[in-house]
Chain A
């Protein structure tokens, strides 16, 4: 009986332990910074079939935001600044067709930069559709 219970409960224990968080390098690079709140959303659902990873950097104060702006070469001071960033060096701008890449969006009012990972054309289209659908819904 004990053996039966063991066999039944072992996969369950494995499932509960297997949810180990796999951190992307961009998250790891900024997670240690004291002046930033850094989050990584793994498998963010863009539509029924397409997911992507998102890394979010939030500056805790204006000094941290100024530092982030400098690091990512953000020259505007209001609204939203967006660019396609190199996958290893997100501050470096790349062509829209480059894969993989980060779709970066910096929101000045929120002192936040969100990086959406784009590996495939489906992800790029799903990201655009997500934006367009939400914009239409908000109107």
Chain B
């Protein structure tokens, strides 16, 4: 029994030392990978925000109006800008 306990404790100690050694070796790698993962995720988020902002900016600058409100649904916004433009092309002067 005493022998078994000794064997167990030695085994446990070895296992602990082995684990500690592995940790010492792997921890910097793990830290580096974690940093890389976080940087990659942050870059993706920044790119997504920048991309959407550029898209929003382009869509707002390519239109000849800011926005349209209508009391009826199903009519395209662009239709009303066209009506506003067309009426000005009718000869009235």
Contacts and interface: CB of A to CB of B under 8 A. Distances in A.
Interface residues of B, number: 31
B93 interface: yes
B45 A127 contact: no
Given A38-B71, A40-B68, A131-B89, A112 B49 contact: no
B55 to A, nearest CB: 11
Nearest to B67: A42
A56 B88 contact: no
Interface stretch (B2-10, B13-21, B22-30, B78-86): B78-86
Contacts of A112: 83, 87
A63 interface: no
A80 B80 contact: no
Main secondary structure of the interface of A (DSSP, over half): mixed
Main secondary structure of the interface of B (DSSP, over half): helix
Contacts of B41: 1, 5
Q: How many residues of A sit at the interface, in one of the four size bands?
A: 35 or more
Contact of B56 (A15, A105, A127): A15
Given A21-B69, A39-B68, A127-B88, A8 B45 contact: yes
Interface of A: 1, 4-5, 8-9, 11-12, 15, 19, 21, 23, 27, 30-33, 36-45, 51, 54, 56, 79-80, 82, 105, 107, 110, 112, 114, 116, 127, 130-132, 134-135, 138
